[in-house]
Amino acid sequence: MTGRYEKLPYWPAALNAKMAASYCGLSVDTFKEICPVRPIQFTQSAWGQRYLRQRLDEWMLSLDPNPAPLASARGFFASSRGVAGGHSENNLAPRSQLMNEIPQPESALTAWKRKNEERQRHAPRHKLKSNYVQVLKFLANHPEGQTVGTIPLAGEKTIEHLAKLGLVQAGNRDLMGDREWHLSKEGKAEVDRIYRYETWKFTER
């Protein structure tokens, strides 16, 4: 809708109704119906009415449904005032260059790589085999303490290995005289890392 005004060297600070509608990308009828901006009066006739471009910018920005980072077009409007049809005034950059300066959303692949890098920073530290992981998870769900015989997939060597890594610690003996085992502080932290790593969601938080 800006066709007839593309040859203008710049958008004036005050626009008549047709120019204001074109500036907003609307037909004149639609512009007059929905635009809340009131024109200033240079004369008593309708021909003397002009819409301030700054007020139009503010109105259009108020309609933007995007979150704040994407609504940074405020800077674009501020820097592009006076620009029309790709021409410049007072050394303002051409419209095409200004459009390139608006931050572009990152691609899905770039976003995935960024989130995966963040995920790796929270990865488990001990690189345990699956049976050791299951033992830690079981002990996390049974903090009261368990003996080797009551822990699925566990044996004496499994518990000894986890104890050497500082992930489990010995507790009291039960009524049968068997040693009970609990997660150590590091063991609890490792379980938290495991669950976080396994349930990581590749979406913005």
| pLDDT tens for each residue of 76-86 | 555 555 555 44
Mention the CATH class of domain 106-205: mainly alpha
**101-110, 155-164, 196-205: range with highest mean pLDDT:** 155-164
Interacting residues of 176 by C-beta distance below 8 A, sequence separation 6+ = 147
CB 166, CB 125: distance < 8 Å: no
Asked if 197 contacts 123 with a C-beta cutoff of 8 angstroms, the reply is yes
- Mean pLDDT throughout 8-30? 87
Domain residue spans of the chain: 3-101, 106-205
Name residue 116's amino acid. N
98 neighbors 83 (Cβ within 8 angstroms) = yes
Please report which confidence band the pLDDT of residue 100 belongs to, taking 50, 70 and 90 as the band edges.
Answer: low
Task: Provide long-range contacts, Cβ within 8 A and 24+ apart, for 60-66.
Answer: 60/24
User: Which of 93-97, 153-157, 166-170 has the highest average model confidence (pLDDT)?
Assistant: 166-170
Q: Is residue 26 predicted with pLDDT exceeding 70?
A: yes
Residue 75 pLDDT level (bands cut at 50, 70, 90): low
Res. 111 pLDDT band, cuts 50 70 90: confident
Question: Burial level of 126, CB count in 10 A (0-12/13-18/19+)?
Answer: middle
The confidence score (pLDDT) of residue 204 equals 47
The whole-angstrom separation of Cα 73 and Cα 2 is 19
Distance CA 185, CA 120 (A): 21
